[in-house]
Copies of this chain bind each other. A is one copy, B any other.
Amino acid sequence: MTIAKKIEGMIAQSSWIRKMFEEGARLAQEYGRENVFDFSIGNPNVEPPRRFKELLVEVAGEDIPGIHGYMPNAGYQDTRAAVAEYLSREHAVDLLWKHVVMTCGAGGALNVAFKTLLDPGDEVVVPTPFFVEYRSYIDNHGGTTKLVETNEDFSLDLQALKEAITEKTKVVLINSPNNPTGKVYDEGSINGLGALLEDKTRELGREIYLLSDEPYRDIVYDGITVPSILKAYKNSIIATSYSKSISLPGERIGYLAANPAISDIDTLMDGLILCNRIIGFVNAPALMQRIIGRMQGITVAVDEYKRKRDLLCDGLASAGYTYEKPGGAFYLFPRSPIDDDVEFVRALQKKKILVVPGSGFGKSGHFRISYCVDDSTIINSMKGFEEVLKEYA
């Protein structure tokens, strides 16, 4: 074999999410798209806000020399300033343009952050269940992933986190609203985590960063808000994207924002900007930066996702499924009636229902439903969900 051994191994056990995506495409081709219930991937089906469309047409028509050329690697200064101003308001902290680096989505942001922060052997503590790509992102830059269980309701287990943090820990990575559970960590847990990290920093004599992957921040329900990590802890960095908040995952636009209170913040920012360049991102796509800079605070119609969540939750409850009702994102993570979630997922597949086994997220006995789909997909899948549950009753 000729490619890298590590990559060869990864191909063999390639991501469950992508496997389902491909299986969905195959089934759709065989049976027609309307006959396949594809809940496997977090590809938003709520269209971008009208304002995006207007701005896209507007910037496409602008005739500015060099506008598709290089800008500073961190992004256009006015875009960074617009993001900083928005964040300052949202988080009640004083963020400046220089604390923001525009990135190729949150995937790009996280890789840039890990490349900047991790020395060989450094550990990144990650609560489970977790977005499966984190493991690769951390490994890409020589770090080690250390998984920590959450509580039964997927809230943070601060005692478990406390025990997991050692002199090897460089980063604690959280994701709230969470993929795959939809859990939003409440203010008590975030403040508790901040206090814990301050204690640990003193105890271990070592800076530990709290990195928050929050692309679903704006997709929350029932009056829930996502607490600010910038207020809770000094060494905090936000990694996010507009992929979900304005439905642009294919356009690869997001950012990193670092807490101005970080000691030696300028060196950190220099590092992030350097790594954005040397990993080969170079800069976030220019055209999207220009649009994003003019539409801070605008989001997709979150009500549509709420309706889908309620439709799904009510239907599955009637069918006999149990789950923690999610406060945000567009994922539900119900319990599988048997421990072997892969077997259960295969049984659903026979009814042309595509979901992802919880073991793909480090939590067996569950499965993930992405409900960013047409209402009809949810409604028409219910018969199949019910039938399969009965088989295992």
A residues within 8 Å of B by Cβ?
Answer: 1-8, 10-11, 14-15, 18, 21, 41, 43-45, 47-48, 53, 56-57, 59-61, 63, 65-73, 104-105, 107-112, 115-119, 133, 136-137, 140-141, 207, 209, 235, 247-252, 262-264, 267-268, 270-271, 274-275, 277-288
Contacts and interface: CB of A to CB of B under 8 A. Distances in A.
A283 B243 CA distance: 12
B60 A56 contact: yes
Contacts of A47: 65-66
A264 B107 CA distance: 29
Of listed A10, A70, A110, A278, residue having the most chain B CB within 10 A? A278
Contacts of A263: 2
A346 to B, nearest CB: 23
Given A43-B66, A70-B43, A278-B136, A283 B250 contact: yes
Contacts of A288: 285, 287
Chain multiplicity (copies): 2
Contacts of A250: 67-71, 283, 285-287
A378 to B, nearest CB: 17
A352 B251 CA distance: 39
B285 A3 contact: no
Contacts of A7: 115-116, 271, 274-275
A4 B18 CA distance: 32
B4 A271 contact: yes
Contacts of A248: 68
Contacts of A44: 69
Contacts of A140: 115, 140, 278-280
A370 to B, nearest CB: 11
A140 B56 CA distance: 35
A53 B62 CA distance: 10
A325 to B, nearest CB: 26
Contact of A267 (B11, B18, B57, B267): B11
A287 B251 contact: yes
Contact of A278 (B1, B10, B69, B268): B10
Contact of A43 (B56, B60, B69, B275): B69
Given A2-B264, A4-B119, A107 B14 contact: no
Contacts of A119: 4-6
A249 B280 contact: no
B116 A285 contact: no
Contact of A286 (B6, B14, B251, B284): B251
B280 A137 contact: yes
A283 B3 contact: no
A168 B11 CA distance: 24
B252 A285 contact: yes
Contact of A69 (B18, B60, B207, B249): B249
Given A3-B116, A247-B68, A252 B281 contact: yes
A38 to B, nearest CB: 13
Given A11-B267, A286-B250, A117 B4 contact: yes
A280 B117 contact: no
Given A60-B57, A140-B278, A4 B69 contact: no
User: Which of A53, A277, A279 has the largest number of chain B CB atoms within 10 A?
Assistant: A279
Nearest to A48: B68
Given A1-B267, A45-B65, A280-B281, 4 more contacts: A67-B250, A68-B249, A108-B280, A250-B287
